[in-house]
Each structure stands twice: as structure tokens, then as C-alpha cells.
Structure 1
Amino acid sequence: MKAKLRNTIIFTVIGLIAGFITVAYQVNFLSPENLEMLLEQAGSVTVLYIVTSIQVGIYAGLSSFIGQFLIEKVSFKLFPSWNTLAFIKAIIIGLFSGAFIVLMDVYVFSEFLPSAEGEYQINVLYLFSGLLYGGIVEELMIRLFLLTFTVVILNKVSKLKSDVITWIAIIITSVIFAAGHLPAAILTLGSDFVIIIRVMILNFIPGILFGYIYTKHGLLYSMSAHMFSHVFMQLVFLPLFV
């Protein structure tokens, strides 16, 4: 129990930091119109920082606390021992995911997206928001909690083979993972059908891969894969192609 509480506290603090950094990025780099919409809901920048940080901290803390109990009911691992092959897989998945998102935007969806003003500039706040919120908080919520919970429920109500149940859970949670990115995309890009399809495709495919490596090798490696996707996307592929 002590280890569970310790992990929960650590992840809650990471969630608080992730929420703060995400707001810092939004405040500094959202368009004035979109920022005004956020401030209309929050009331002020200070309230936006406080509410978002607490909200993300709660998400991370609850997901980690409940997820640690759920994971004991299945064969998945939280922090497995070091596995070089799994780490290489995480790098490859991150590389593919980062390339997939950028190249799909450049060669498939570019005509439906706002034109870039000048060359892409690496943004530290954007990077750390991706690493902490995406790489840690989203993995806690979607993989550790939701995917594991789905497997536990399906194990109780169905007689399907464990591998089939696992893949059903991966697909379901990947759809939810993709849908979770819709509000931010609609806020910044609008609600055209193509934009919705874009968001679902660009997040569903990486979600499948993150789900696979989580169920195969553990949370540590799904977090690593998700983090690497942001590293490759923001530090390699966006500067090369945008």
C-alpha cells in the first residue's frame, strides 16, 4: 500500500506540473480569439492556471491510484524490470508515431489546415507539455486505468480468449484516446468533418501502438513510446517538414 500511495503522490505532482505547463503554453501561443474563449470560461489567467493544474493533478492521481489496484487483476506490468528490446520498441513506436502525424498533416491534410507562418520553431513549453501531459498523464488515464479496467470488465462478462479481450480493449481505448483530442482541435482548427477525421486517425493509430506496448511490456514502456513520439515529432519531423 505504501508503494501505491508513493506512486500516487509522485504522479499527482507530475500532473500538477503538466497542467501548469500546458496552460503556460496555451496562454503564450494560442491565438487571441482562442485564448479569450478559454478566459471567458475560467474568468482569469490565474484561475485558469489553478483550475487546470488541480484538474490534471487529480486525473493523474486517481488514475494511478485506481490503476495500481486494477493492474493486479491482469497480467500487465506497471514498472517492469529493464528490457532492452522493449525500450527499442518504444523508440521505434515513438519514431513511427511522430513521423506518421507530421507526414499525414503535410501530405494529406495540409489543405485543410491553416498555413504555417514561417518556419517551425521548437517550443520548450509545447515539448514539455507533450512529455508530461501526453507521455505520463495520458498514459495513466488511458492505458493504466481505462485499458486495464476494460480488460478486467471483459474478463468478467465474456468467455473470449485473453488475447482477443486485450485487443478489443486496446481498440476501444484508442478510440477514446483519439476522441479526447477533439476539444482542443475543434477550439484551434474548427469542427469541420475533415478536421474530426484527421484528429481521430492521427491519434487512433499511435494509440493502438501505445496500447500494444503497454499490454506487452508495461506502463514504463508505453510512457517511453509516447514521450519519444513527442520528441521525434517536435525536434525532428516538424523542423524538417514544416
Structure 2
Amino acid sequence: MNNESSGWGSAARGAVALYVLGMIGVAALAIYSVPSLRSIPELAVLSYPTLVLIAAANSTILLAVFVALGAATAPRTGLHSHVFAWASGGTPDWDAYRRALPLAVGLGAGLFGLVTVLDVAFTPFTELESVNPAGDAAALEDLFASIPMRLLYGGITEEILLRWGVMAPIVFVLWWVRNRVGERMEEPPAAVLWVAILASAVAFGLGHLPALASTFDLTPALVVRTVLLNTIVGVALGWLFWRRSLETAMVAHAAFHVVLVGVSVVAMLLF
């Protein structure tokens, strides 16, 4: 009983650490969302702190659920987080993390290039500009305002939600089913990991549709484009989580947005 309690206590400490890390992104998203909430007449009279709390409410709850799911499943499947290992009393391999940084940054930048090319290919069907040429001050100001949200919520919180909280539980469930119907395996086979990577990547793609729908009328071509491009990114990030660590996937995700913002700023200033 003492060993079991200690195990759950360690996992709880790891989960709290990831939750606190993810809440940084939730706060960034909530702050970025306040101007949109203030445009709603019923909410315009509320104070700034109240609007921040309203904007953060759903993400705060979802983050708690998905962190707990990942904490219960990821360590059992071999999927790794250095932060979780550190907080739970394990031995995080920070040297391995540092060695993986060039791969993470390069992959993030490469993904942006691939997505941009595919986005251009989709333009005749979606009738959307692949890079926003509007160089007015308001568009530039909004882009700069979105940087904390992109880097912190996109780079950190989305990885905790989708990779830690979705991919890891899928791996665990599929592995459990595989062991029940076939020969028992001591660790999840590669096929199980790839199914989980793809499933969480598709969920990542679908998760971008509500925000898109708030700006554009969703057409079949636009839905396919959005889900496909984000699924491609999600597959690469899921692979990084599997082969390196959750934090490596976070860096790659953040690098994607760094390049995106840089290219967007240049495009806005030149065109």
C-alpha cells in the first residue's frame, strides 16, 4: 500500500508540474481573447480580470482532465516528459533534451515550409491568401499581440493536451486491447504508436476548425485543407514525442510559430 501510494503521489507531483506549465499557455490565450470578448455587448461591462477568467475557464478544466489522463498512461507506455520525470522524482535526461533541440527547431521550421507550399496549392480551392498581404498597422499589431498565445498556448499547452493527454491514452488503450486479444507484448508496438500519432494529429487538425469558423464560412475545401495541414504537423510532433520527448515536441511547435510570425511580418511590411 505504501509503495502504491508513493507511486500515485509521484505521478500527482508530475501532473501538477505539467498542469502549471500548461496554465502559462492558458493565461496567454485568455489575455489574447479579451478584446474579442469585449466586442460582445453583454460582456463589455465586465472587468478585465473577469474577462480573463471567463476566457480561461474551459481550457483550465480541459487541461486538468488531459494532464491527468496522460499522467495515468504515458509513463506506462514509455512516452516521456522531462518535466514530469523531474517533478515526480525520476531522472530527466536534460542532456538528451539539449541534443534534440537542433532537430526540434529544424523540424519546426521545415514543417512551416511544407505547410506553406501545400497552403499555396490549396489556394485555388479555398480562395484564401496563403500569406496575408495586408500590411496595415492593425493587422501587424494583432500579429504581435498573438505571439505569446502562439508560443505559449500553441507551443506548450496544445502539446500537453494533444500529445500527452490524447496520444498517450490512445497508445495505452490500444496496447491493452492488443495484449488481450493477442500475444502479450512488454511495450507498445510501433503500429500502435503510429495509430495513436495519427489519431491525435487528426484531433489536432479538427481542433482548429472552431477558430477558423469564427472568421470564415467553412467550405469542404477549407475543412480538408485545415485538417490535412494540421494533421501533417501533428504527425511530426507526435513522432517527436515518441522518439524524443514531450518537451522536444513543444520546441518544434514553438519553432513553427516563430518562423510563421517572422515570415508574416516580412510579408506585411513588403507587400
Q: TM-score range by the shorter chain?
A: 0.7 to 0.9
Task: Name the CA distance, whole Å, in 2 between partners of 1:45 and 1:173.
Answer: 36
Mapped contact 1:21–1:125 kept (Cα < 8 A): no
Task: Name the CA distance, whole Å, in 2 between partners of 1:15 and 1:48.
Answer: 19
After the TM superposition, which of the residue ranges 98-107 and 65-74 deviates more from structure 2? 98-107
Aligned pairs for 1:17-96 within 5 A: 17-28=24-35, 36=39, 39=40, 46=47, 47-79=50-82, 80-81=92-93, 82-83=95-96, 84-96=98-110
| Aligned counterpart, 2:189 | 162
| Aligned counterpart, 2:134 | 117
Structure showing greater radius of gyration is: 2
Identity over aligned residues, as a percent? 22
Unaligned runs of 5+ in 1: none
Is the counterpart of residue 215 in structure 1 residue 234 in structure 2? Answer: no
Listed one character per residue, the Cα deviations across residues 116-137 of structure 1 (whole Å, up to 9, x for unaligned) are: 4226737333111011111111
| Aligned counterpart, 1:238 | 264
Task: Name the CA distance, whole Å, in 2 between partners of 1:35 and 1:193.
Answer: 31
Unaligned runs of 5+ in 2: 1-7, 83-91
* Number of aligned residue pairs: 235
Task: Name the CA distance, whole Å, in 2 between partners of 1:194 and 1:131.
Answer: 28
Aligned-residue CA RMSD (Å): 2.9
Is the counterpart of residue 105 in structure 1 residue 124 in structure 2? Answer: no
Task: Name the CA distance, whole Å, in 2 between partners of 1:69 and 1:223.
Answer: 20
How high is the TM-score relative to the length of structure 2?
Answer: 0.74
* 1:175 counterpart letter in structure 2: V
1:92, CA displacement in angstroms?
1.5
1:168, CA displacement in angstroms?
0.8
Mapped contact 2:81–2:246 kept (Cα < 8 A): yes
1:190, CA displacement in angstroms?
1.6
Listed one character per residue, the Cα deviations across residues 61-109 of structure 1 (whole Å, up to 9, x for unaligned) are: 3322331221121111111412244222211111012223334434532
Task: Name the CA distance, whole Å, in 1 between partners of 2:20 and 2:191.
Answer: 35
